Structure 1
Amino acid sequence: MSKWPLVAMSEVADIERNGIQASEIQDGTLYVGLENIVSGGDFLDVRKVASGELASSKFRFTPSHLLYGKLRPYLAKIARPTFSGVCSTDILPVLPGAKLSRDYLSHYLRRQEIVDLANARASGANLPRLSPRALASFEIPLPPLTEQRRIATILDQAETLRAQRRAAIAQLDSLGRAVFLEIFDTALEDTERISLDDLVTEFRYGTSEKSSSTGYPALRIPNVTSGSLNLNELKTVPVSMAEFERLRLINGDLLFVRTNGNRDYVGRCAVFDQAAVAHTRFDAAEFIYASYLIRARLKAGGVLPIVLQWYLSDGEGRRALRSRCKTSAGQYNINTEGLGSLPIPSFQPDAQQQFAIRIRAIERLKVIHLAALARLDELFASLQHRAFRGELTPPTRASSPKDICVLEAAVGLEALIFVAKRMPAGRHHHYKSLKALYFADKRHLEKHGRMIYGETHSALPYGPVPQAAYDATRVLNGERLISDFDDEALRAGLRRAKDDQQDKLVALRDADFSKLGHAERESLEWAIRYCADMSFEQVKAASHDTAYERTPANAPIPVEYMTDMLPPEA
Structure 2
Amino acid sequence: MSPAPTRRLRDLCELISIQVDPAATPNAAYVGLEHVPSGRFWTSRQGLAQDAQSSKFEFAEGDVLYGKLRPYLDKAVIAASTGVCTTELLVLRPRPGVPSTYLAAVVHAPDFTEHAMSGVTGAHHPRTSWHHISDFDLPGHSIDQQQRIGSVLTRVQRLIECVEIQSTTALDIKSHAMSALFRQGLVKAALRESEIGQIPSHWQVLPLGSLGRVGNGSTPKRTVGAYWNGGHYPWLTSAKVYDRDIIRGDEFVTDTALRECHLPKVQPGALLMAITGQGKTLGHCAVLRTEATVSQHVAYVQTDTTRANPAFLRGYLETQYDYLRQVGAGGGSTKGALTCAFLRSLPVPLPPLDEQNEIAEILDAIDAKIALHQQKRAVLQELFKALLHKLMTGEIDVNDLDLSALDREVEVAA
TM over 0.5: yes
Q: In the alignment, which residue of structure 1 is the partner of 2:316?
A: 307
For 1:185 and 1:94, the matched residues in 2 are separated by 54
Instruction: Find the partner of 2:397 among 392, 396, 408.
Output: 392
Contact preservation (8 Å) 2:15, 2:91: yes
Aligned counterparts of 1:62 and 1:163: Cα–Cα separation in 2: 24
Cα gap change, 1:269 to 1:357, in 2 (>3 Å): same
| Cα offset, 1:177, TM superposition | 0.7
Report the aligned-residue RMSD. Answer: 5.6
Alignment match, 2:127? 130
**Counterpart position of 2:180:** 182
What is the alpha-carbon distance in structure 2 between the residues aligned to residue 105 and residue 165 of structure 1? 25
Letter in 2 for 1:7: R
1:34 aligns with 2:33: yes
Structure 2 CA distance, aligned partners of 1:58 and 1:335?
40
1:369 aligns with 2:373: yes
Q: Which runs of 5+ in 2 are unaligned?
A: 185-190, 198-207, 220-231
Measure, in 1, the Cα distance between the counterparts of 2:276 and 2:38: 18
Deviation at 1:338, TM superposition (A): 6.6
Residue 345 of structure 1 and its aligned partner are, at CA, apart by 7.3
Matches within 5 A, 1:1-400: 2-5=2-5, 7-21=7-21, 24-41=23-40, 42-49=42-49, 51=50, 53-98=51-96, 100-112=98-110, 114-115=112-113, 118=116, 122=120, 128-133=125-130, 134-184=132-182, 191=195, 201=215, 252-254=271-273, 271=285, 296-300=298-302, 304-312=313-321, 317=323, 336-337=335-336, 346-350=347-351, 355-390=359-394, 391-394=396-399
TM-superposed CA distance for 1:118, in Å, is 4.8
Distance 2:155 2:278 in 1: 34
Structure 2 residue matching 1:169: 3-state secondary structure: helix
> Where in structure 1 are there 5+ consecutive unaligned residues?
206-215, 230-236, 261-265, 276-283, 326-333, 396-466, 476-480, 493-570
Q: Distance in 2 between matches of 1:111 and 1:257?
A: 39
Matches of 1:268 and 1:135, distance apart in 2: 43
| Higher RCO by CA contacts (8 Å cutoff, separation 6 or greater) | 2
Distance in 2 of aligned mates of 1:285 and 1:111: 45
8 Å Cα contact 2:286/2:314 also seen in 1: no
Q: How far off its partner does 1:382 sit?
A: 2.9
> For the Cα contact (< 8 Å) 2:276–2:338, is it kept in 1?
no
Aligned partner of residue 347 in structure 1, secondary structure: strand
1:489-516 Cα shifts (integer Å, max 9, x gaps): 9979xxxxxxxxxxxxxxxxxxxxxxxx
Q: How far is the alpha carbon of 1:358 from its aligned partner? A: 2.0
Find the residue that maps to 2:65 and give its secondary structure: strand
Contact 1:101–1:149 (CA under 8 A) maintained in structure 2: yes
Distance change >3 Å, CA 371–CA 243, structure 1 → 2: farther
1:122–1:128: 8 Å Cα contact kept in structure 2?
no
Q: What is the alpha-carbon distance in structure 2 between the residues aligned to residue 393 and residue 380 of structure 1?
A: 13
AA in 2 matched with 1:394: N
**Percent identity between the aligned chains?**
20
d(CA) in 2 for partners of 1:318 and 1:169? 25
State how far apart, in whole Å, the 1-side matches of 2:236 and 2:5 are: 40
Answer whether contact 1:254 1:309 (CA < 8 A) is retained: no
1:40 Cα offset (Å): 3.7
What secondary structure sits across from 1:148 in the alignment?
helix
- One-letter code aligned to 1:150: R
C-alpha contact 2:97 2:143 (8 A) present in aligned 1: yes
Within 5 Å, which residues of 2 pair with 1:431-470? Answer: none
